[in-house]
């Protein structure tokens, strides 16, 4: 269960083009799982910015000198993140978390390909730790617009069997996108499962490649949110449920992690006509005539702990 | 360092003073205190219960429920604005069956007082919804959402026309048990809110909820197109507080005996006090809950302190006080 914590900034550091903030947030770190996120109130007590900013959890330490800490990575995109980047150690900061459904982990050792775009790689590091603790092999694929927007390449190299890097401008690694590198990595690693986090276009491309290769894929989306706790219905996207029906589900509580083959990427930004409760739609059908595509994941018992959806 | 930090959860709520009588009434609905959630900003209470005990508030106003499941409008549905936000959710919800089956019983079970907000596309739909809520039992009050701006047809915003507003209110009043108050939720986007208020009261409304959001637009200067997929959205948050407060003021001045549930950008106890002084018997905390999920309970504690600091023994003594000369 998430908590709201009046925490403190412990440290702030630059990592390439990004900023990473560590906050003392007792109660959050102890129960956070890979793929979950926190929301941060920005702008101080009399802020004109009412929307909390959501950030994937990068690193947690359950027992620090000051209590549990949570680190998250951000890029300065607007006034809220600019305010965050200007914080000093010991300043108070309001944290809510951990929020959302985490990544599901395989029951038995498996070969896992982790795919990240930009600082979308951040939540993949605690995931990698959890996977390695279960004896999984990690193959890392990361891409960004240019070299300084890659996040964590050195760490990724240290923890993975192979690291593939792509940049849009070719400044380092393969000149192209992660989707250009992924098919070869899947084939050579004999991947059992893929985990991805990054921009929606990347997640869509990764999900397509995995579907074609018959490899289960979990993706963590980053949708615009107002509340982060499931109340406001801002962050919805069309997702196919276990019953084959499409619903507009909340990425904050029903996600941010989804099975890639369940997200209707082409219909994001619309209400599909066959979605439950769509305008002027026929009454929702009880079930599709052809059941939702059975993924190899289910056949192999992967991802195993508990299917996220 | 860690000694200065606090973890707020349902077990550790702000301490509230108990020597002030905070009880109030909304028609025949008796509340232990005057702070409620606002419709659409608390879902059906379940999520907020992770942060505080929902029975400690005056009531939980649930998100407007419709007859059938509804998927709402396309995304993007939200834009942050100065001290506010624009939303264009479009009443996404599970429909009345699921609401009565799961959500309302859960609230009753938790000891919360449920104010059920209903929204329909026609007078008949409103009447059917009221009937379903009546038959299910458990609602302490009905809030009739005749003012949601996020509908395709502006002609369906019943609160923009005195006759349409009255027709809906009358249908809901007839379909509701006499002991359950019916409040009409009004839009500030009208020329003469007193005329709409009077029309609703004459049609049988026991009170008025004021106000819903104001219609707005934000344009993305990079794409040079509206930010919201639905183009327009409802503006909420502190940015609209003076407008909402003015509506409460005008209606209380014209109809001093009609109870008002006030809302619009309440962030603090002092904001709530403004609404009380303008004539509201109770207040809803809405958008601030997105910023601070424990806000409703905090506002209650702050309001209590603010009343104590001003020498009040009873909340009810402050209601409408700003009008006295």
Residues in chain B closer than 8 A to A41 (CB atoms):
291-292
ipTM value, please give it.
Answer: 0.91
Q: What is the pLDDT of residue B56?
A: 98
Nearest-Cα distance to chain B for A72, in Å, is 19
DSSP one-letter string for A207-255: HHHHHHHT--EEEE-----SSSSSSS--SEEEEE-TTS-EEEEETTTT-
When scoring A98, A99, A226 by the number of chain B Cβ atoms within 10 A, the one with the most, hence best to mutate, is A226
Q: Are residues A117 and A87 both part of a single domain?
A: no
Interchain CB distance below 8 Å, B293 and A96: yes
Looking at the fold, whether A176 and A79 belong to one and the same domain comes out as no
Same domain, yes or no: A10 and A87: yes
Six-digit token pair at B96? 């009345």
Verify that A15 and A77 share a domain, yes or no: yes
- Any idea what the CATH number is for the domain that residue A31 is in? 2.40.30.10
A269 has a chain B CB within 8 A of its CB: yes
B293/A1 touch (CB, cutoff 8 Å), yes or no = no
- The verdict on A205 and A154 lying in the same domain is yes
Residue finishing a domain among A79, A99, A119? A99
Active-site annotation holder among B41, B148, B200, B247: B148
Contact call for A230 and B43, based on CB within 8 A: yes
pLDDT higher than threshold 90 for residue B9:
no
Q: Give domain status of residue A276, yes or no.
A: no
Mean pLDDT of chain B: 93
> B291 and A233: CB-CB below 8 Å?
no
Q: What is the pLDDT of residues B291-305, one digit of tens each?
A: 999 999 999 999 999
A127 assigned to some structural domain: yes
Which chain A residues contact residue B293 at CB under 8 A? 4, 96, 227, 229
Structure tokens at A234: 């801002």
How far is Cα A179 from Cα B47, in angstroms, rounded to an integer?
A: 37
At which of A99, A128, A153 does a domain end? A99
Question: Rounded CA gap, B124 and A77, in Å?
Answer: 48
CATH number at residue A151: 3.40.50.80
Nearest of A2, A12, A30 to residue A95 by alpha carbon: A2
**CA-based nearest residue in chain A for residue B239:** A48
Residues A95 and A115 in one domain: no
Domains within chain B, CATH numbers bracketed: 14-72+89-213+237-320 (3.20.20.70)
- Reported pTM: 0.91
CA distance B133 to B96: 8
Task: State how beta strands A3-15 and A193-197 pair.
Answer: unpaired
Which of A78, A99, A120 lies at the terminal end of a domain, its last residue? A99
Under the banding of pLDDT at 50, 70 and 90, the label for residue B154 is low
* Cβ neighbours of A52 in B, within 8 Å: 290-291
Quick check: is A61 in a domain?
Answer: yes
| A118 and A80 within one domain | no
Measured between beta carbons, the chain A residues lying within 8 angstroms of B151 are none
**Interchain proximity B85–A50, CB inside 8 Å:** yes
* pLDDT surpassing 90 at residue B89: yes
Chain A residues whose beta carbon lies within 8 Å of the beta carbon of residue B47: 229-231, 253
Are A77 and A15 members of one domain?
Answer: yes
Q: Does A45 touch chain B (CB under 8 A)?
A: no
What is the mean predicted confidence (pLDDT) over B106-116? Answer: 98
Interface test with A, best of B291, B298, B302 (most A CBs within 10 A): B291
Owner of token pair 């690291």: A163
Within-domain flag for A93: yes
The answer to whether residues A73 and A115 belong to one domain is no
Q: Which of B5, B11, B237 to mutate to test the interface with A (most CBs of A within 10 A)?
A: B5
Q: Between B241-254 and B269-278, two packed helices, what is the crossing angle to 10 degrees? A: 30
3 state DSSP class of A82: helix
pLDDT bucket at B148, cuts 50 / 70 / 90? confident
Are residue A148 and residue A94 in the same domain, yes or no?
A: no
Residue B152 confidence class, pLDDT cut points 50, 70, 90: low
For each of chain A's 309 residues, which pLDDT tens digit applies?
999 999 999 999 999 999 999 999 989 999 999 999 999 999 998 999 999 999 999 999 987 677 899 999 999 999 999 999 999 999 999 999 999 999 999 999 999 999 999 999 999 999 999 999 999 999 999 999 999 999 999 999 999 999 999 999 999 999 999 999 999 999 999 999 999 999 999 999 999 999 999 999 999 998 889 999 999 999 999 999 999 999 999 999 999 999 999 999 999 999 999 999 998 654 443 333 333 333 333 333 333 222 222
> Tell me, what's the pLDDT at B4?
42
A126-130 CB contacts, 8 Å cutoff, 24+ apart: A126/A32, A126/A34, A126/A57, A126/A58, A126/A59, A126/A60, A127/A34, A127/A35, A127/A103, A127/A195, A128/A156, A128/A159, A128/A160, A129/A34, A129/A159, A130/A33, A130/A34, A130/A105
pLDDT digits (tens, 9 = 90+) for B160-169: 899 999 999 9
> Among all residues of chain B, which has the CA nearest to that of A68?
B2
Would you state the pLDDT for residue A282? Answer: 43
Closest B-chain CA to A268: B75
Out of A27, A52, A269, the one facing B75 most closely (by C-beta) is: A269
| Residue contacts between A and B (CB atoms, under 8 Å) | 143
Instruction: Please list every residue in chain B whose beta carbon sits closer than 8 Å to the beta carbon of residue A247.
Output: 71
Q: Do A3 and B48 touch (CB under 8 A)?
A: no
Residues 117-146 of B with CB under 8 A from A: none
Q: Looking at the structure, do residues A116 and A206 belong to the same domain, yes or no?
A: yes
What integer pLDDT is reported at residue B318 of this predicted model? 98
CA closest to A10 among chain B residues: B1
B160 catalytic? Reply is no
Residue A218 falls inside a structural domain: yes
Chain B residues touching residue A48 (CB < 8 angstroms): 82-83, 238
Q: Residue A154 domain-assigned?
A: yes
Task: Determine, yes or no, domain membership for A139.
Answer: yes
A217 at interface of B, judged by CB pairs closer than 8 A: no
Chain A residues whose CB is inside 8 A of the B8 CB are 3-6
Co-location of A46 and A126 in the same domain? no
Check CB contact of B85 with chain A, cutoff 8 Å: yes
Q: What is the least distance, in Å, from the CA of B171 to any CA of chain A?
A: 25
Kindly state whether residue A51 falls inside one of the protein's structural domains.
Answer: yes
* CB contact (8 A) between residue B294 and residue A4: yes
- Distance between CA atoms of residues B231 and B209, nearest Å: 26
Taking CA atoms, what residue in B is nearest to A39?
B291
Work out the pLDDT band at B18, boundaries 50, 70, 90. Answer: low
Domain tally, chain A: 2
Q: What is the pLDDT of residue B94?
A: 95
Best CA proximity match to B187, nearest among B255, B240, B226: B240
* Domain hosting residue A163, numbered range: 111-222
């Amino acid at each position: 269960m998430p908590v709201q914590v009046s925490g403190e900034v412990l440290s702030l550091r630059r990592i390439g083009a990004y900023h990473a903030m560590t906050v003392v947030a007792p109660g959050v770190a102890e129960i956070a799982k890979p793929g979950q996120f926190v929301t941060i109130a920005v702008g101080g007590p009399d802020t004109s910015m009412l929307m909390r900013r959501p950030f994937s959890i990068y690193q947690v330490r359950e027992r620090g000198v000051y209590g549990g800490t949570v680190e998250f990575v951000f890029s300065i995109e607007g006034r809220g993140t600019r305010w965050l980047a200007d914080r000093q150690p010991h300043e108070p900061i309001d944290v809510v978390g951990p929020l959302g459904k985490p990544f599901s982990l395989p029951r038995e050792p498996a070969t896992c390909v982790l795919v990240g775009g930009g600082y979308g790689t951040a939540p993949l590091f605690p995931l990698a730790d959890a996977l390695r603790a279960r004896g999984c092999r990690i193959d890392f694929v990361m891409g960004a617009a240019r070299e300084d927007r890659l996040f964590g390449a050195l760490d990724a190299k240290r923890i993975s069997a192979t690291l593939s890097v792509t940049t849009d401008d070719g400044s380092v690694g393969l000149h192209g996108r992660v989707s250009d590198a992924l098919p070869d990595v899947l084939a050579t690693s004999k991947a059992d499962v893929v985990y991805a986090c990054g921009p929606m276009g990347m997640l869509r491309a990764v999900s397509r490649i995995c579907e074609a290769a018959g490899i289960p894929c979990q993706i963590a989306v980053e949708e615009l949110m107002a509340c982060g706790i499931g109340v406001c219905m801002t962050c919805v996207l069309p997702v196919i449920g276990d019953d084959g029906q499409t619903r507009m589900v909340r990425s904050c509580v029903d996600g941010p992690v989804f099975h890639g083959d369940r997200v209707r990427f082409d219909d994001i930004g619309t209400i599909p006509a066959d979605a439950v409760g769509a305008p002027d739609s026929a009454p929702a059908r009880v079930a599709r005539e052809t059941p939702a595509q059975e993924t190899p994941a289910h056949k192999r018992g992967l991802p195993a702990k508990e299917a996220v959806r | 360092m860690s000694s200065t930090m606090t973890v707020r959860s349902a077990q550790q709520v702000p301490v509230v003073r108990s020597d002030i009588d905070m009880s109030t009434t909304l028609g025949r609905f008796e509340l232990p205190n005057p702070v409620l959630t606002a419709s659409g900003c608390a879902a059906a209470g379940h999520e907020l219960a992770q942060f505080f005990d929902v029975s400690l508030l005056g009531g939980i106003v649930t998100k407007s429920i419709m007859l059938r499941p509804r998927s709402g409008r396309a995304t993007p549905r939200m834009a942050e604005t100065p001290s506010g936000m624009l939303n264009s959710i479009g009443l996404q919800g599970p429909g009345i069956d699921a609401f009565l089956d799961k959500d309302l019983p859960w609230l009753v079970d938790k000891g919360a007082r449920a104010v059920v907000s209903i929204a329909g596309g026609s007078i008949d739909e409103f009447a059917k919804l009221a009937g379903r809520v009546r038959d299910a039992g458990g609602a302490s009050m009905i809030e009739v959402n005749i003012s949601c701006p996020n509908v395709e047809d502006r002609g369906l915003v019943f609160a923009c026309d005195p006759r349409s507003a009255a027709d809906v209110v009358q249908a809901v009043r007839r379909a509701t048990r006499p002991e359950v108050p019916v409040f009409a939720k009004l839009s500030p986007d009208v020329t003469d809110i007193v005329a709409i208020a009077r029309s609703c009261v004459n049609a049988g409304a026991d009170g008025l909820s004021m106000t819903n959001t104001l219609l707005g637009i934000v344009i993305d200067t990079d794409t040079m197109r509206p930010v919201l997929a639905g183009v327009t959205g409802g503006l909420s948050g502190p940015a609209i507080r003076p407008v909402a407060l003015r509506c409460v003021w005008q209606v209380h001045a014209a109809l001093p005996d009609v109870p008002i549930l006030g809302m619009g950008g309440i962030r603090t106890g002092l904001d709530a006090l403004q609404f009380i002084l303008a004539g509201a018997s109770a207040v809803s905390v809405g958008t601030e809950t997105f910023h601070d999920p424990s806000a409703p309970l905090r506002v209650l504690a702050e309001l209590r302190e603010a009343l104590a600091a001003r020498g009040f023994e009873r909340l009810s003594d402050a209601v409408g006080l700003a009008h006295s000369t």
